[in-house]
Amino acid sequence: MIKSPVALALMFCTLAAAAAVPAKESKKDLPHRIVGTWRLIASTVQYPDGRLLPDPNFGPSAKGYLFYDSSGHMCIQLMNPNRFDWRNPTRPTAQQLASAINGYYSYCGTYELRENDTRIIHHVELALVPNEVGTSVQRQVSFADDRLNLIAEGIHDGQRLTFTLTWERVN
C-alpha cells in the first residue's frame, strides 16, 4: 500500500502520461482508421527524376471525396475544378463532353484490406470508364496524423510514376 502522498501523486502522473501517449499504430488499426468520409487535399505525381508535381489530369486545385464504410463499400470522385462550362447544359459539344470526362474520375465498389501489410484493394463495380468495371485497383495506405495517403505506381508516357492522393477526414 502506498502511504506517501508524493509517491501516490507520482504514480498517478505516470499512469496519466502513459494513457495519453498513443500506442504505436498497428496494421490491425487500419480498418477502424480508414472508415469515414475523406476530402482530397492534394493529388501529386512523382517523376523518375524526383520532381513532384500536381497530377496533370486534375490540376493543382484538384477536388475530390472518398468514402469508406464499415460494411466494405467505397466510392471515389475526383475532378479538375477548372473544366470548361458547357454553353448549353442540355446539349454540350463533343469538345465539352471530352473535357468533362478528361477532368473527372469516379468509381464505386467494395474494398478489402490486406491484414499483413498496408495495402487496400478496390473492387470496381461502377465506373466512369466502362473498361474498369470488374477490375481491381491496389493502393498503398499510409497515415500522417489525420491524413490518409493512397499511393500507386503506374506507367504513363513510358515513365514509371508514383501517384499520391492525400486526403483529410471530414468531420
pLDDT at 61 exceeding the cut of 80:
yes
Dihedral angle sign, alpha carbons of residues 51, 34, 79, 63: negative
Q: pLDDT tens-digit profile of 136-157? A: 999 999 999 889 999 999 888 8
- Taking residue 40's Cβ as centre, other Cβ atoms within 10 Å add up to 19
Residue extents of the structural domains in the chain: 26-169
Q: How far is CA 165 from CA 42, 44, 86, 90, 131, in A?
A: 6, 7, 28, 33, 22
Q: Which residue has the higher pLDDT, 66 or 117?
A: 66
- CA 17, CA 91: separation in Å to the nearest integer? 64
The model's confidence at residue 125, banded by pLDDT at 50, 70 and 90, is: very high
Share of the chain above pLDDT 90, in %: 61
What pLDDT, on the 0 to 100 scale, is given for residue 19? 33
Confidence (pLDDT) at 15: 30
At 27 the pLDDT is: 56
Distances (CA, A) of 92 to 35, 46, 98, 103, 127: 37, 34, 10, 15, 21
- Asked if the 26-169 domain carries CATH number 3.80.10, the reply is no
